[in-house]
Structure 1
Amino acid sequence: MTDQHDAEDEKTVRPFAAFLQEQSGGQLHDELSSRLHDLIEAVIETGKAGSLSLKVDVKPIAGTDGRTLTVTDAVTTKVPRIERPKSIFFVTDDGNLSRTDPRQPVITGLREVEPTPVKQLRSAQ
């Protein structure tokens, strides 16, 4: 009698990977694969952490025997970003931004100087 009871309690659990490949006609599996690949590239490029999350909502369909369900999914990623370069600006008296410091005097009359040839060094023996 114990053997029959144990056999009834055993359930076969279907692999989650099989669900991923069938959900949304396989689109969920494809999206997860693509997003994971993009995430790995961004983590390597930036040296910063990222994450990928899968949310699965399961709801019974009203008016059925309770064994018919709708399954929806949502995939979110937190991809690390490369920091954009910063620029330094100065505020003018008019309240505008300028790349040159308005308090710094402008130097005029500068010219480019030709480089002088370097003499060949002699070795001491």
Structure 2
Amino acid sequence: MTAQHQHDGEPRIRPFADFLREHGRGRTHDELGEALHTLIARVKDTGKKGSLSLTISVEPMKKADERMVVVGDKIAIKLPEHDRPSAVWFVGKDGNLQRDDPDQLSFDSLREVPPPPGVNPTTGEITDTREAN
């Protein structure tokens, strides 16, 4: 009986976590831990769903012992994104976007009125509190 088989003749299946800790000298295992940590933080931050996936590829090693295989891995993380703000724009007659409504009348004759005496022009604060006679 070989070390690969249990007493009842069934093959002993090695725990996946054991393989993961050894593959790539533990690099894949460590990267998955970091990726999961990043994913959890982003899910909490955005309130949206994300995902993490590991793909293991196995292929025979060409021109080698039939027991030898090449094992590769790929880690993919899909982080949820924050909503980006939208803005309302108008489409002008030429088909370009513009902020102002092209059908709105313009008020070219409007002008800014200066603040009255005793009022700070920057803050609008009343600086002269003397009563007018």
Measured after TM superposition, the shift of residue 110 of structure 1 is 4.8
Find the counterpart in structure 2 of residue 78 from structure 1: 78
Cα separation, 2, equivalents of 1:20 and 1:112: 73
TM (normalized to structure 1)? 0.73
Q: CA, structure 1 residues 63+89, in 2 after alignment: closer, same or farther (shift >3 Å)?
A: same
Amino acid at match of 1:48: K
Q: CA, structure 1 residues 105+115, in 2 after alignment: closer, same or farther (shift >3 Å)?
A: farther
TM (normalized to structure 2)? 0.69
Cα separation, 2, equivalents of 1:82 and 1:42: 9
Cα separation, 2, equivalents of 1:60 and 1:96: 58
The answer to whether the Cα contact below 8 Å between 2:6 and 2:12 also exists between their aligned partners in 1 is: no
After TM superposition, what 4+ stretches of structure 1 lie above 4 angstroms from structure 2?
112-116
2:58 partner SS: strand
Find the counterpart in structure 2 of residue 17 from structure 1: 17
Measured after TM superposition, the shift of residue 106 of structure 1 is 2.9
Find the counterpart in structure 2 of residue 46 from structure 1: 46
Q: CA, structure 1 residues 60+111, in 2 after alignment: closer, same or farther (shift >3 Å)?
A: same
1:65 partner SS: coil
Higher mean alpha-carbon deviation, 97-106 vs 68-77, is at 97-106
Q: CA, structure 1 residues 104+30, in 2 after alignment: closer, same or farther (shift >3 Å)?
A: same
Amino acid at match of 1:85: P
- Higher RCO (CA 8 Å, separation ≥ 6 residues): 1
1:94 partner SS: coil
Structure 2 unaligned blocks of 5 or more: 116-123, 127-133
What number of residue pairs does the alignment pair up? Answer: 112
Cα separation, 2, equivalents of 1:26 and 1:6: 27
Give me the CA root mean square deviation.
2.6
Q: CA, structure 1 residues 101+115, in 2 after alignment: closer, same or farther (shift >3 Å)?
A: farther
Cα separation, 2, equivalents of 1:86 and 1:106: 25
